[in-house]
């Protein structure tokens, strides 16, 4: 497990502050003084030591006082709630022609290969089943203001929990995704984990926003892309159906997975009259160890038991 690695918690909306109060009640090393306006989480290893204490800290994720954050005009990941420093970071982890994965990362490469090799099965099942089902997208005041037009979801993973009805309606796709769960790759167990068929209808858009944390990478597997979408990286005015992450604009290419870090400011649009369909899959950032995953999930489960995280 990473030693003394901090996850910065940024001040936010009242719900976020309530969440921080729960986190602040986690067991603390006695030498630390918490400040409510600026705190951070850190994963502690029993083999690590602190410069101010001869006793090694216990193994858990806790809340500690964090530094102030410096921001510049350069595009960098800027999640709204939690930030774990030290993770490799790029707006897109797939290059322009989808021939390479950033850093040659074997974990991300494996997931992309798995999804792309099954894209026909996934698409066929979507075409056969999804038109007969209602969207399970939960509209709230916050997320409704985030997008314009129609946006349908059919969720396998919603707020970190697998949805049983998905496997009943989409058994083939569920089997494909289950293999990612079996290897602890799917971003499961936190309120920020999602995996769903995302159907963005014509003339719809999702406004610029950032993820609540940088613990995940997001994969888009395009199943249906409107005709006439640009096939090159260019200004967003020239891409009629695409996504901007940081300063980079990309279109979707049918059957070619797009891997992105949504902790960067990003936005999505479909300026055509056709629908764009993709399978969205959240995975753990590959730099986060299995031990850290378990500790982060435990922290959120403790918060859930105290009523802060509701399904």
| Residue showing tokens 């209808």 | 201
Phi, psi of 5 (to 5 degrees): -90, 130
Token pair in block for residue 209: 């926003």
Average pLDDT, integer, range 185-198: 96
Q: Is the pLDDT of residue 262 over 80?
A: yes
Indicate whether 114 and 237 sit together in one domain: yes
End-to-end CA distance of the chain: 29
Indicate whether 145 and 160 sit together in one domain: yes
Q: Is residue 158 within a helix (H) or strand (E), and if so which, with residue range?
A: strand 151-158
Residue 268 belongs to domain with CATH number? 2.60.120.330
Indicate whether 128 and 272 sit together in one domain: yes
CA distances to 114, 221, 258 from 117, in Å: 5, 11, 14
Which range marks the domain in which residue 54 is found? 5-87+288-305
Q: Helix (H, G, I), strand (E, B), or coil: what is residue 215?
A: coil
Indicate whether 56 and 173 sit together in one domain: no
Indicate whether 174 and 227 sit together in one domain: yes
Q: Helix (H, G, I), strand (E, B), or coil: what is residue 277?
A: strand
pLDDT in tens, 59-102: 566 555 566 777 788 999 999 888 888 999 999 999 999 999 99
Indicate whether 107 and 157 sit together in one domain: yes
Q: What is the pTM of this model?
A: 0.82
Q: Helix (H, G, I), strand (E, B), or coil: what is residue 203?
A: coil
For 57-100, the DSSP string reads PPSSEEEEE-------SS-----SSEE-TT----SBSB-TTS--
Query: Regarding predicted confidence, which is higher, 40 or 134?
Result: 134
Query: Could you tell me which of 137, 101, 131 has the C-alpha nearest to residue 116?
Result: 101
Indicate whether 120 and 167 sit together in one domain: yes
């Amino acid at each position: 497990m990473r030693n003394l690695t901090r996850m910065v918690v940024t001040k936010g909306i009242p719900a976020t502050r309530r969440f921080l109060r729960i986190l602040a009640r986690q067991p603390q090393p006695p030498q630390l003084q918490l400040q409510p306006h600026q705190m951070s989480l850190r994963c502690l290893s029993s083999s690590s030591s602190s410069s101010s204490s001869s006793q090694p800290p216990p193994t858990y994720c806790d809340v500690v006082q964090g530094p102030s954050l410096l921001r510049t005009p350069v595009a960098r990941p800027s999640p709204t709630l939690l930030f774990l420093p030290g993770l490799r970071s790029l707006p897109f982890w797939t290059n322009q022609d989808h021939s390479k994965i950033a850093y040659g990362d074997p974990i991300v490469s494996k997931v992309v290969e798995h999804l792309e090799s099954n894209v026909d099965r996934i698409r066929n099942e979507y075409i056969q089943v999804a038109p007969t089902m209602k969207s399970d997208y939960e509209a709230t005041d916050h997320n409704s203001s985030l997008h314009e037009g129609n946006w349908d979801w059919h969720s396998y993973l919603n707020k970190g929990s697998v949805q049983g009805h998905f496997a009943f309606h989409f058994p083939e796709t569920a089997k494909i995704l289950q293999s990612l769960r079996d290897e602890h790759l799917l971003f499961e167990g936190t309120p920020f984990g999602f995996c769903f068929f995302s159907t963005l209808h014509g003339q719809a858009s999702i406004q610029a926003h950032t993820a609540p944390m940088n613990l995940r990478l997001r994969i888009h597997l395009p199943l249906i892309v409107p005709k006439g979408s640009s096939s090159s990286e260019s200004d967003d005015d020239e891409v009629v159906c695409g996504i901007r992450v940081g300063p980079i604009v990309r279109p979707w290419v049918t059957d070619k997975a797009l891997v992105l870090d949504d902790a960067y400011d990003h936005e999505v649009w479909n300026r055509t009259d056709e629908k764009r369909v993709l399978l969205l899959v959240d995975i753990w950032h590959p730099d986060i160890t299995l031990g850290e995953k378990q500790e982060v999930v435990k922290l959120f489960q403790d918060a859930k038991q105290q009523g802060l995280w509701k399904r």
